[in-house]
Structure 1
Amino acid sequence: MSLSVIEPTNLQNSNPLVGENYGLTLTQSIQNLVAENCKETPNFTHFIDIFYELMQSKVDPPLESIWVYSALTFRSRILTTDDPLDRLSAARDLFQLISACSGSCNSSKSIALLAPVVFEVYKVAVELKGRHLGSKREKKVFREVKSLVDVILGFISVCCCDTSNGKRNVSEVTDLNLIVSFKDLVSLWMEKSESFKSFLPLVNDEICRESSERVCDVNYLAGMVTVEVFLLKLCLSFGVGMAGVELEKELTSWAVSSITGFQNVCFFETLVRMLLEPTLPVTSLLSSEHGVLLKKVLYDAVILVEYSFLNPESAVDLPVELMKSLAMTRLIVTHEAIELLREDGDQKKAISYASAFSSSKLPSQIIKWITNQIGMDEKERSLVSSPKALLKWLLSLENQGIRAFDDKILKSHAKLAVDNSKTDYEYQSLKVKGNEASGDLHFYIDNKGEDEEDEEMNESMSAVFVAAAHSMKLPENGGRKRKEMGNTGNKKKIKYPKHDLSDNHGSTREGFSSVGNEDLSSESEVEDAEAVEQ
């Protein structure tokens, strides 16, 4: 049965819902509803009328009023059936109801309200794991799940497009805190046996805990919902024909295109924070092997591409604390990714990550924040070209009593990442004849569009990286046979372009180049030396 807006009758509210009275009525009504929900056999009938009026009394109603009204309507109409197609139909009706009720709301609120829709779709998707989708009915369920996820992604993309085109509401760039506990709101969608974490199944435990313990910001919630739909789409892309390198390239291209289109800092920050964890929260949807491949795809998407919406000049209306936290998280993730690649023996990809880091604005941005904070002279800035060197410098400042990490959890991640990494990147020490290595590898850092100060710093960082590349050594006895390695006389010039994607979605696939396969010389296993710290 379709979930259309229910117009109440015989409302008995003598006080006008304006000004302070509106907030008091909304808060008290939610408290009464939560208390009713705790009863053995709750009765929500009369609450539907109350929240309908609260929702209709404002042009841009609070998230709580739409959320509660949708929850009550959904729970009163949902069919008591386990048939996945019926449940998907109900989820689609819920999506239409919420999108209709949030039509006049800003984009962040419209996206955040979709959390229960994603929750319902996810539950059906989980049931498909492990099935061979042999029967026509199972194939139809899979198609319906993918179709609804695509519809939700399209809605989110339209909302994000409105924001990026300058239609951003003031409330979207400031704190837009919920009036009541997010945990209380979530309880309206859950069975008594279900935990809060199960409502946000594709977000890791740490982020879930934060959202339940602190005052939840609507922008932050919208970022979490976008991450969930983003991951759900990627997970559903496995096992549908493509595999191996072809699948990895396709997923990476789509991920980069989507991140570019969303241009949402809260979404990106949530996604990058999730990469700090050893595994992604997708085990209910993917095998461990596919989970590892998905993490590789996300590493490529967040490390190898420099997105224009993350540039300081593009984020002037966002809190400095948010941008600084994001920058520190990206730094730690990049370091951990390089370490993992080295452990796996993928030296080529490790080099591409290190090159992308040194050629990006991230190191200079972090150094500027810290040196401005402590009043260090411009000429005294410590120039580093590797994530590990920069992390060590920041931790050394912390040991001197200078606060480099605003977040204790990030500081712990940073310390753990450095402690767990190899002390001196222990690889076989080998000899190189003459200047053979220096002629084989050339690194190109694109500094177009940067101010003079950034250009100077990146040139210095690039010089250190090039020096490290020139010191790379070849194995004498080991690795591949000479004949497999090709003609060592053919020198190749390698470019590591800095990717700066604009809003042009159509050119994303052509503009994105996966660094680390064809572009790298197969003549040697290479490693970048640690930058000299000051």
Structure 2
Amino acid sequence: MQPPICKPRPPTHLEYLKPLLNDSIKQLLLQYRSGRTNFSVFDSIFTRILHDLPKPPLELVWFYSAIRFYSSKLAFRDDSVRLTSSFFQLLVSFSDSFYGVKKVALLSPVVYQLSRLVITKRRDALSLLEGIVSYISMYCVEKPGDEDDDLLMVSGFSFADLSRIWVVDEVEENCRVGDCLEIFMPFVSEKLRKEIDSESCRVGYLAGVVASQVFLLSLCLSFDSEISRSELEKDLRETVLQMISGFQSCYFFDVMLKMLLLEPYLHLTSLMGPEDEATLTEIITEAVIKSVEKLFLNPGNGTSQRTLYLKNIAINWLFLLNNAMASVRRDKDQEKTRRYMSMFSNSLVPYHLINWVISQGEVIRDADALRNLTPASFIEWLVSLEEQGLRVFDCDHSKTYAKTVIHRSRPDLSLGATLLKQQEEFDQDADMADEHIVSSISILKSTRKRKEERHNKEGETKVKLFKYRHMNLQENSKFQPFGFSDSLVNGTEVEVSDMEL
């Protein structure tokens, strides 16, 4: 729900590339449209520039690769499969000096060629896709140091402007830049395209978009199988889980969550029918909800930026899980409702959010009781913290989305109503339900009381240092994997006011 986190773009020594690339793109497009196939002048100029830059920016490599692509196009005649495969190998050869996610982001023009190829030569495209999926699985996982990756267009050049060189065969000369980018990324929503074309977009974010497009293209082709529908869906569920596990990246998860949250469909209508797309969307949604756990189990890079990125993913995960539960409730699918509720109850993701809240100096008196909330109730708890002054949501859009979730879930939002429903459905013991209701109500009352005390005292409270140690934390190993928070719950010293003790 929130744009990629990064600092404002600083000036660089590569600013001179912007006018050079602008002029070169105009000349290349003009010559290509006139029927020219020899671009040796461009080749010699940009070969020298690349030779002088041991770690060249992506926009420079992309333009140079476009020159090579169009120069060799005639040699492959109508063999678009070999042309795309050769282009993939060309970009890989340019990426020796790049770190993992930058290698993946570099493949963006290849994904565009694949999106055209799967429409005309689906079977041939499948084998090429399998190789690219394996390549992305190797490099999509971020490693220490990758989090400080470059801004996408370091020379201040526009990604949308650059996309014109790839879609030249599909658009008119006066095509709007935004339309060019839409053609270049046909399976990416408008909101995500705007983020990619912003000056604040990072290389890692484009890598997540590239991985998500390859992921979707590969899954679309799975529907060409001649096996029965039940077998197909079973195989798809296994395949999706395996691929998501291979693309174990914050960037990839962030993009997939936004795709599933911001759009009612996955923009795949050109490749599959609406029924198949609905089936695939449901399978991907459940797999993403299940697989996100692995992000929080991997110690990875413990920087504060990664902590915030994971916090945002955790919140979007809550949104997605709540949406999925609302959908199956409307369909009166009790089995799926129980399964989703079980995913939430057994998930480590809420613990990450609890740890993050406590690391900000908040006191949670009964963390276990928060596990018994519904996803919507947990979101309401986060909103109440935001209203007290804790910055939980990174943008107004995300906070508004959270409030919309609360409004829509209001009839069955409270823990009491949830437990009463469970009592009717599963014949639970009434006394146990009452205990959970009282525990949940005490948490919400405590939250409101702290808010009132803060407003009444307005800075007059004395701050002191204390150690918070929940009795369950030493026994419950589920708290241990979260190494991303600025400070963990277990035995951590945090500053709080007397009124919060």
TM-score tier after normalising by the smaller chain length: 0.7 to 0.9
CA contact (8 A) 1:235 1:286 kept: yes
CA deviation profile, 1:131-156 (whole Å, cap 9, x unmatched): xxxxxxxxxx3321101111111221
Match of 2:207 in 1: 222
User: Which residue among 120, 123, 133 is the counterpart of 1:153?
Assistant: 133
1:261-300 correspondence runs (5 A): 261-276=246-261, 277-300=263-286
User: Which residue among 69, 72, 77 is the counterpart of 2:72?
Assistant: 77
Q: What's the offset of the Cα at 1:90? A: 1.5
Partner secondary structure for residue 326 of structure 1: helix
Match of 1:116 in 2: 109
Q: What's the offset of the Cα at 1:59? A: 3.6
1:190-339 correspondence runs (5 A): 190-191=167-168, 192-193=171-172, 195-276=180-261, 277-305=263-291, 307-311=293-297, 313-317=299-303, 318-339=305-326
Q: What's the offset of the Cα at 1:22? A: 6.6
CA contact (8 A) 2:257 2:316 kept: yes
Q: What's the offset of the Cα at 1:66? A: 1.5
CA deviation profile, 1:77-109 (whole Å, cap 9, x unmatched): 3249995xx222221121111112223322212
CA contact (8 A) 1:156 1:226 kept: yes
Q: Distance in 2 between matches of 1:235 and 1:21?
A: 41
Q: What's the offset of the Cα at 1:262? A: 2.4
Match of 1:528 in 2: none
Counterpart amino acid of 1:416?
T
Match of 1:91 in 2: 84
Match of 1:57 in 2: 52
Q: Distance in 2 between matches of 1:273 and 1:458?
A: 35
Q: What's the offset of the Cα at 1:187? A: 2.2
Match of 1:518 in 2: none
Q: Does 1:30 align with 2:16?
A: no
Q: What's the offset of the Cα at 1:457? A: 11
Alpha-carbon spacing, 1:309–1:399, altered in 2? closer, same or farther (3 Å): closer
Match of 2:149 in 1: 175
CA contact (8 A) 2:182 2:190 kept: yes
Q: Distance in 1 between matches of 2:366 and 2:202?
A: 39
Counterpart amino acid of 2:282?
K
Q: Distance in 1 between matches of 2:102 and 2:308?
A: 22
CA contact (8 A) 1:182 1:215 kept: no
Alpha-carbon spacing, 1:339–1:58, altered in 2? closer, same or farther (3 Å): same
CA contact (8 A) 2:111 2:214 kept: yes
Partner secondary structure for residue 324 of structure 2: helix
CA deviation profile, 1:152-203 (whole Å, cap 9, x unmatched): 112212324xx57xxx473x22131122222222222122445212211222
Alpha-carbon spacing, 1:117–1:35, altered in 2? closer, same or farther (3 Å): same
Match of 2:356 in 1: 369
Alpha-carbon spacing, 1:455–1:188, altered in 2? closer, same or farther (3 Å): farther
Alpha-carbon spacing, 1:82–1:235, altered in 2? closer, same or farther (3 Å): farther
CA contact (8 A) 1:48 1:72 kept: yes
Q: Distance in 2 between matches of 1:186 and 1:305?
A: 33
Alpha-carbon spacing, 1:354–1:209, altered in 2? closer, same or farther (3 Å): same
Q: Distance in 1 between matches of 2:112 and 2:474?
A: 46
Counterpart amino acid of 1:333?
L
Q: Distance in 2 between matches of 1:116 and 1:126?
A: 16
Match of 1:406 in 2: 394
Alpha-carbon spacing, 1:46–1:362, altered in 2? closer, same or farther (3 Å): same
Alpha-carbon spacing, 1:78–1:458, altered in 2? closer, same or farther (3 Å): farther
Q: Does 1:184 align with 2:171?
A: no
CA contact (8 A) 2:208 2:253 kept: yes
Partner secondary structure for residue 392 of structure 2: coil
Partner secondary structure for residue 64 of structure 2: helix
Alpha-carbon spacing, 1:238–1:392, altered in 2? closer, same or farther (3 Å): same
CA contact (8 A) 2:91 2:107 kept: yes
Alpha-carbon spacing, 1:215–1:401, altered in 2? closer, same or farther (3 Å): closer
CA deviation profile, 1:238-261 (whole Å, cap 9, x unmatched): 131234332222112112112222
CA contact (8 A) 1:324 1:366 kept: yes
Q: Distance in 2 between matches of 1:48 and 1:379?
A: 66
| Contiguous gaps of at least 5 residues in structure 2 | 1-10, 173-178, 431-468, 482-501
CA contact (8 A) 1:260 1:307 kept: no
Q: What's the offset of the Cα at 1:421? A: 3.4
Alpha-carbon spacing, 1:364–1:143, altered in 2? closer, same or farther (3 Å): same
Q: What's the offset of the Cα at 1:75? A: 2.2
CA contact (8 A) 1:182 1:216 kept: no
Q: What's the offset of the Cα at 1:115? A: 0.9
Q: Distance in 2 between matches of 1:69 and 1:377?
A: 55
Q: What's the offset of the Cα at 1:294? A: 0.7
TM-score (norm 1): 0.68
Alpha-carbon spacing, 1:24–1:363, altered in 2? closer, same or farther (3 Å): closer
Matched residue pairs, number? 409
CA contact (8 A) 1:306 1:360 kept: no
CA deviation profile, 1:205-228 (whole Å, cap 9, x unmatched): 211111113333111111110110
CA contact (8 A) 1:309 1:315 kept: no
Alpha-carbon spacing, 1:91–1:364, altered in 2? closer, same or farther (3 Å): same
CA deviation profile, 1:429-461 (whole Å, cap 9, x unmatched): 99989x95559xxxxxxxxxxxx85955998xx
Alpha-carbon spacing, 1:120–1:305, altered in 2? closer, same or farther (3 Å): closer
Counterpart amino acid of 2:211?
T
Q: What's the offset of the Cα at 1:23? A: 2.3
Partner secondary structure for residue 404 of structure 2: helix
Greater helix proportion: 2
Match of 1:66 in 2: 61
Q: Distance in 1 between matches of 2:342 and 2:233?
A: 21
Alpha-carbon spacing, 1:341–1:110, altered in 2? closer, same or farther (3 Å): same
CA deviation profile, 1:255-301 (whole Å, cap 9, x unmatched): 21122222211011111111102211212212111111111111221
| Contiguous gaps of at least 5 residues in structure 1 | 1-19, 128-140, 440-451, 460-496, 501-534
Q: What's the offset of the Cα at 1:400? A: 4.7
Structure 1, 189-198 or 208-217: larger mean CA deviation: 189-198
Alpha-carbon spacing, 1:284–1:411, altered in 2? closer, same or farther (3 Å): farther
Q: Distance in 1 between matches of 2:387 and 2:85?
A: 54
